[in-house]
């Protein structure tokens, strides 16, 4: 079973790509509904090959399960150019989602057609197993929430590093 999302967000593709790799930005996507907390050390930035176990809870109070985030990055091209894909193919370890046999979440970012200052965001969550039909409606609703949060947060992802002011040269006497 699949859940698909496709929409344009108000940030450039580089900012969206950085956000996909930011544990803080990813956690904000689920807030304030769900908290995502590392079971151990959370990396500053997800990298291809990372396996990061996390605990998810409702408002930080009610545990809903543990998940292993397993990261793989790849790049491809489509008719509009470069497409970067972030794949979480980790598995739910505990909680209701652990009843799934398949968890494959891919997020693709590329320049929006006709406006390279914006990002075309595409997601595909594939789930499988006997529990998938029962869990799909709740996951579908969660992914609609995610889409709303992504659209709202995307403008905050862009940043231009502040340039350091040039030190003043000592005045000659």
Rounded distance, CA 105 to CA 120, Å?
A: 17
* Average pLDDT of span 156-162: 70
Confidence of residue 173 (pLDDT cuts 50, 70, 90): very low
| Token pair in block for residue 16 | 């969206």
b/e map 114-153, b = 16+ CB within 10 Å: eeeebbbbbbbbebebeebeebbeebeebbeebbebbeeb
Look up the pTM and report it.
0.86
Closest C-alpha among 117, 114, 110 to residue 78: 110
Does residue 166 surpass a pLDDT of 50?
A: yes
Rounded distance, CA 49 to CA 70, Å?
A: 7
In this predicted model, what pLDDT tens digit does every residue of 96-111 receive, in sequence order? 999 999 999 999 999 9
Rounded distance, CA 25 to CA 141, Å?
A: 20
Rounded distance, CA 128 to CA 133, Å?
A: 8
Instruction: Set out the domains of the chain in order of their start, with CATH numbers.
Output: 2-155 (3.30.530.20)
Confidence of residue 147 (pLDDT cuts 50, 70, 90): very high
Indicate the DSSP class of residue 28.
H
* Terminal C-alpha separation, the chain: 77
């Amino acid at each position: 079973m699949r859940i698909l999302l496709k929409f344009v967000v108000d940030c450039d593709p580089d900012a969206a790509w950085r956000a996909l790799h930011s544990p803080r930005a990813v956690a904000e996507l689920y807030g304030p509904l769900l908290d995502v907390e590392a079971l151990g050390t959370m990396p500053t930035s997800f990298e291809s090959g990372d396996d990061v176990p996390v605990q998810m809870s409702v408002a930080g109070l009610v545990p809903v399960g543990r998940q292993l985030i397993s990261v793989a990055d790849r790049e491809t091209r489509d008719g509009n150019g470069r497409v970067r894909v972030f794949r979480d193919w980790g598995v739910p370890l505990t909680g209701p989602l652990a009843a799934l046999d398949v968890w494959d979440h891919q997020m693709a970012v590329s320049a929006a057609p006709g406006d390279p200052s914006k990002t075309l965001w595409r997601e595909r969550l594939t789930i499988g197993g006997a529990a998938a039909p029962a869990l799909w409606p709740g996951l579908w609703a969660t992914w609609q929430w995610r889409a709303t949060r992504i659209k709202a947060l995307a403008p905050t992802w862009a940043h231009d590093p502040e340039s350091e002011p040039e030190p003043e040269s000592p005045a000659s006497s």
